[in-house]
Amino acid sequence: MLRIENIAKTFNPGTITEKIALRDVSLHLAPGDFVTVIGGNGAGKSTLMNSIAGTFPVDKGKIIIDNEDITKWPEHKRARYIGRVFQDPMMGTAANMQIEENMAIAARRGKTPTLRWSAPAAQQKFFREQLKTLNLGLEERLESKVGLLSGGQRQALTLLMATLVEPKLLLLDEHTAALDPKTAAQVLAITNEIVTKRHLTTLMITHNMKDALACGNRLIMLHDGKILIDVKGEEKKSLTIKDLLAMFEKAAGSELNSDALLLS
Amino acid sequence: MDLIIPTISQGLLWSLLAIGVYITFRVLDIADLTVEGSFPLGAATVAACLTAGWSPVPAMIAAAFTGMLGGIITGILCTKLKIPALLAGILTMIALYSINLHIMGKANISLLQVDTVFSLYAISGMSQANMILIIGLISVVFTSVACYLFFGTEIGAAIRATGCNPHMIRANGVNTDITIILGLLLSNALVALSGALVAQSNGFADVGMGVGTIVIGLASVIIGEVLFGTRSFKNCLISVILGSIVYRAVIAIVLQMGMPPNDLKLFTAILVALALAMPLFQAKLNKRKAAKN
Ligand SMILES: Nc1ncnc2c1ncn2[C@@H]1O[C@H](COP(=O)(O)OP(=O)(O)O)[C@@H](O)[C@H]1O
Ligand SMILES: [Mg+2]
């Protein structure tokens, strides 16, 4: 489904602020893989995800989705295949526009907009049904501006929007990190439901080790721009935080600076 | 009393400029200074076409068209060449000054000897002042309905989303370079059309008539928003049009009260500065109120 071949990214090359964010990373995802991504602050997790989404070009390597080389595609063209939820709940929706208008835009993700009416009444029933699955009462608020929603509601809506048109790849970058614990758990539950029910190929960054172990069928850990740990299947199922820390020490030759990661 | 109709008429003719400024300033979230060049560009184009013997409607279409080109230039400067929008607008504005002189061949063209949209279609027995009002009304109704419909389409929604959250709309597959260029194009077409109408009602086109238009546009937008609300897009459009009329009325009143015309621009600038600072004053006031309670 997704094939990443030897990609690298250095920010501000040749200056004093030069920063190597990804070093020769390769990663293959099978269809339906639900991969959780962990790693300390600055490990390169977001850079990996933004490279796939096309936020910036990579320095070398190839990114292939479903046998199509998208390495040179601009960000907006990649949206045809990729659904995204950002860490910042404000980033995934347009605050000044209604829930309905936001969903109408998401419902034609990847298509060139035309002069047809943007939010036809015929779509409302479909939007309402979709919103109902979130269990947040948003189905009654189709005409509310998104800016009136809470962070958690916006994040749940963004998740729904990102999957309204089935993406070949779903990218979630710490999408629960800015929420309070209760809301975060709620949004994570919705995520699990959507991803597993529809077998979406997904990369989910999280700073919460427990979530990373509990969700998905595969886990990767990034460190200093490299994939340090990659466990899947049965091995992942039985993995504990202690195992993970031991694996990290062995692979990195140092103790994990766990300040940035929630161990519990 | 006899000032009421001309004031409303002027407000209507200038409200196309205000709608144009609304599209960039509020919808796209860009302060676009191109308008200072595209307003006289519309005037210059219409004057050149009319004196060349064109009839008024094709001449105004040509004016809107040149305005579009101005918008496209700024759009390309700020998207493809990554020049900050404010600077891109200034560059186009300066460039247009020379271009407007080329179009007109001199700094000022009188339109008193040619047929304008206000004289050619004059209904017998109706004064020029009333004609300006009627044509102003027709233009404004036509433009605002067209804008309302356009911004309800998929492309229109994409432009609105671009101004609100470019990350979101890119993540949904829209090329924001294109939506920004489209928004600037539409805005400057309206501004040029406004310039074409104002020139015909004034009876001349002048290369210097763009000075301060951005501030006039902003004043209309802000006055309209404060007085008439911003509940929906439809509401905003109506507010902006009414704002433009109120602005003309304010100007007429202060002139009547004896303010020298030379101070008009100073007055408008202060008005806009105060209005833009309003949210800050409001917050301070609320704080003080809260502290008292
Ligand atoms: N746009 C950027 N410009 C410069 N440096 C960046 C940029 N984005 C990320 N970096 C740097 O690259 C490294 C990896 O960042 P990131 O991928 O965001 O880490 P994380 O794993 O915390 O998501 C960090 O050192 C960060 O400071
Ligand atoms: Mg990050």
* Segment B206-253, tens digit of pLDDT: 999 999 999 999 999 999 999 999 988 999 999 999 999 999 999 999
Report residue A138 as tokens: 């948003």
CA-nearest of B261, B144, B132, B147 to B198 is B132
For position B151, what pLDDT does the model report?
96
pLDDT in tens, B113-162: 999 999 888 777 788 889 999 999 999 999 999 999 999 999 999 999 99
**What is the model's pTM?**
0.92
First-residue to last-residue Cα distance in chain B? 47
In a domain, B287, yes or no: no
**Cβ neighbours of A108 in B, within 8 Å:** 154, 172-173
Low-confidence stretches of chain A (pLDDT beneath 50): 264
Å from CA of A179 to ligand 1 middle: 22
Within 145-174 of A, beta carbons closer than 8 Å to B belong to 161-162
pLDDT of residue B78: 96
Number of domains in chain B: 1
- Domain for residue B276, yes or no? no
Q: Tell me whether B165 touches chain A (CB under 8 Å).
A: yes
Cβ contact (<8 Å) for A80 and B170? no
B164:A94 CB<8 A = yes
Cβ–ligand 1 contact at A44 (below 6 Å): yes
**Cα-to-centroid distance, B77 and ligand 1 (Å):** 29
Ligand 1 centroid to residue A47 C-alpha, Å: 6
Q: What gap in Å lies between CA B210 and CA B220, rounded to an integer?
A: 16
Report whether A19 contacts A11 (CB < 8 A): yes
Assigned domain for B132 exists: yes
User: What pLDDT, on a 0 to 100 scale, did the predictor assign at position B120?
Assistant: 84
Q: Over the stretch A99-108, which tens digit does the pLDDT of each residue have?
A: 999 999 999 9
Q: How confident is the model at residue B293 (pLDDT cuts 50, 70, 90)?
A: low
pLDDT per residue as tens digits for the range B63-111: 999 999 999 999 999 999 999 999 999 999 999 999 999 999 999 999 9
Does residue B289 sit within a domain?
no
Identify the residue whose tokens are 């105004």: B60
A86, A95, A108: residue with CB nearest B164? A95
Contact A97 B160 (CB under 8 A): yes
pLDDT for res A261: 58
B260 to chain A, closest Cα gap in Å: 42
Kindly determine whether residue B168 and residue A92, on different chains, have CB atoms separated by under 8 Å: yes
Helix (H) or strand (E) holding B99: helix B85-104
Q: What is the pLDDT of residues B27-36, one digit of tens each?
A: 999 999 999 9
Tell me the residue range of the domain where B166 lies: 4-265
Beta bridge mates, A9 = A22
Give the residue whose CA is nearest to atom 2 of ligand 1: A11
Q: Please, are residues B74 and B184 in contact by the beta-carbon 8 Å criterion? A: yes
Residues 31-60, chain B, touching A (beta carbon < 8 A): none
Contact yes or no for A111 and B170 at CB 8 A = no
Within a domain: B286: no
Can you name the residues that pair with A3 across neighbouring β-strands? A28, A64
* CATH code, domain carrying B162: 1.10.3470
Is B233 inside any structural domain? yes
In this structure, what are the phi and psi dihedrals at residue A220, rounded to the nearest 5 degrees? -125, 145
Distance (Å, rounded) from C-alpha A47 to C-alpha B174? 22
Q: Which residues pair with A68 in a beta bridge?
A: A65
CA B190 to chain centre: 6
Contact of B232 with chain A, judged by CB distance below 8 Å, is answered with no
Answer yes or no: is B18 within a domain: yes
Chain B interface includes A56 (CB < 8 A): no
Q: For A147, which residue in chain B has the nearest alpha carbon?
A: B164
pLDDT for residue A264: 41
Residue A43 alpha carbon to ligand 1 centre in Å = 8
Is residue A236 in contact with ligand 1, taking CB distance under 6 Å?
Answer: no
Residue B284 lies in a domain: no
